[in-house]
Amino acid sequence: MPFEPLALAAYSTVSALGRGRGTALDALLQGRSGLRPCDYDGVDIETWIGRVDGIEDVVLPAALKPFDCRNNRLALLGLESDGFASAVAAARARYGAARIGVFLGTSTSGIEATEQAYRQRGASDGALPAGFDYRHTHNTFSVADFTRRYLGLEGPAQVISTACSSSAKVFAAASRHIRAGWCDAAVVGGVDSLCLTTLYGFNALELVSRRPCRPWDAARDGINIGEAAGFALLEREGEGVRLLGYGESSDAYHMSTPHPEGEGALLAMQGALHCAGLAPQQIDYINLHGTATPSNDRAEDRAVTRLFDGSVPCSSTKGWTGHTLGAAGITEALFCALAIEEGLVPASLNTEQLDPGLSAPIVRTTLRQPVRVAMTNSFGFGGSNCALLLGQPA
């Protein structure tokens, strides 16, 4: 059964570039990065981060107060950007609340709340503060539970948590639920927020750069961690950019290092092309996973070169937003949607001296040119890979 494309009937993005599609587009066209030297509370690592301003001031509705944490505040910013919550309300009136599912990705959920609780443990008994609500903040399902309640949706709800591929894989899961008839439309997306766990964890793995990250650069030396929220409403009918296909695979190689020849990445990209019924030469732009670690970029370059033979313009947008981990899939899928709607190929920001050992054609300055079909790659720890194809309706 061929894959029936699904429309992105509405979408919203919040990242270090700012709130909303218009702000992101302006930044991409003006060459304004969202990265800044790390100013996250209590962190003494020399690095740059992609921080979203104003999360600290967000107030959740009183009925959803138990969900209050940095991750769900960031989710709320995303839901209220670009008129997304209103678009979902209109869809709810059309389909009924029980016919719209919620599929969200995150890697660390609201772990920041648990980090804070551990720092406030009782000196004598070691007990965590009584007011700490682990279930509604840090638990992996929290952001989907919060989102479905905020939007008044009653369809199936789940969080996919496969590290940095999480919010790409939600498109595949939602597509299957719609095809299965378990829902008629779906809110997909991802939210991941800054926390000590990822900053110190990636630092312990020696994967954090002290400078703005430089994907595909000869001197690239690691990632900048970012935070973001992104949402899309998937429907069978509708105007605008469509999801054309997806591919999912596993590396079966190592927990934190990709397969050196990009075998798993290749399978995911081939799977997406097969799902969409497209040939490699029909792709106009590839948004790379491009984290800017030496091994990640090398493995992805091998896979992209084997499949596309250097014929498709590529860029990593991590230099604009940082690596937003569980929100990277949705953030970059929505950059592809902007690229298609606006006719632009975003530059691979900060890439100075291209690595002569890599061969993917990297776009160095943002180009104004038509993009009909775009691919976006997301690869995560545990060897979890996902590629998505988005395009203009035929």
Partner 1 sequence: MMRVNVESIGLIAAGMTGWEAARPVLRGEVELDAAVVPAFKPNLLPPNERRRTTALIKLALQTAEDALARSRYGMSELASVFASAEGDGEIVDRICTALTLPGHPVSPTHFHNSVHNAPAGYWAIAAGSRKFSTSLAAGAATFAAGLLEAASVAVLEREPVLLLAYDYALPPALAGRGYVDAVCGVALVLTADDGAAMTRLSLEMQPGSAVPPPLPAEFAALRAHNPAAVALPLLQALARGESATLGLPCHEHLTLQIGIDA
Active-site positions read: 164, 289, 323
The pair of structure tokens assigned to 267 is 């399978």
CA 192 to chain centre: 8
* Interface with partner 1, residue 131, by CB under 8 A: no
Please tell me the distance from the alpha carbon of residue 118 to that of residue 101, in angstroms, as a whole number: 34
**Among 13, 15, 72, 161, interactor with partner 1 by CB under 8 A:** 161
Chain centroid offset of residue 176 CA? 20
Q: For the CB of residue 158, give the shortest distance to partner 1 in the complex, in Å.
A: 4
Q: Is 331 one of the binding residues for partner 1 (CB under 8 A)?
A: no
Instruction: Decide: is 384 part of the binding site for partner 1 (CB under 8 A).
Output: yes
Identify residues 1-60 at the interface with partner 1 (CB under 8 A): 1
How many residues of this chain interact with partner 1, rule: CB under 8 A?
Answer: 69
Residue selected from 88, 157, 307, 390 as contacting partner 1 according to rule CB under 8 A:
157
Interacting stretch for partner 1, rule CB under 8 A, among 27-35, 172-180, 287-295, 364-372?
172-180
Nearer to partner 1, 198 or 315 (CB): 198
Burial class for 309, CB neighbours closer than 10 Å (0-12, 13-18, 19+): exposed
Angstrom distance (rounded) from CA 160 to CA 35? 27
Q: By C-alpha distance, which of 166, 235, 229, 174 is closest to 8? A: 235
Residue 264 lies near partner 1 (rule: CB under 8 A): yes
Under the binding rule (CB under 8 A), the answer on residue 261 touching partner 1 is no
Contact between 356 and partner 1 per CB under 8 A: no
Instruction: State which H helix or E strand residue 226 sits in.
Output: strand 225-226
Eight-state DSSP code of residue 211: S
Given 82, 251, 300, 301, the residue binding partner 1 (CB under 8 A) = 251
Structure tokens belonging to residue 357: 């050992």
DSSP per-residue letters across 227-251: -EEEEEEEESS-SS-EEEEEEEEE-
DSSP lists the bridge partners of residue 226 as 50
Candidates 24-32, 132-140, 342-350, 359-367 — which segment interacts with partner 1 by CB under 8 A? 132-140
- Cβ atoms 191, 103 nearer than 8 A: no
Nearer to partner 1 (CB atom), residue 143 or residue 363: 143
For position 256 contacting partner 1 by CB under 8 A, the verdict is: yes
Q: At a CB cut-off of 8 Å and minimum separation 6, what does 4 contact?
A: 179, 236
Contacting positions for partner 1 (CB under 8 A): 1, 97-98, 107, 111, 114-115, 117-119, 121, 126-128, 132-135, 138-141, 144-145, 148, 154-163, 169, 173, 176-177, 179-183, 196-197, 200-205, 248-256, 263-264, 267, 380-384
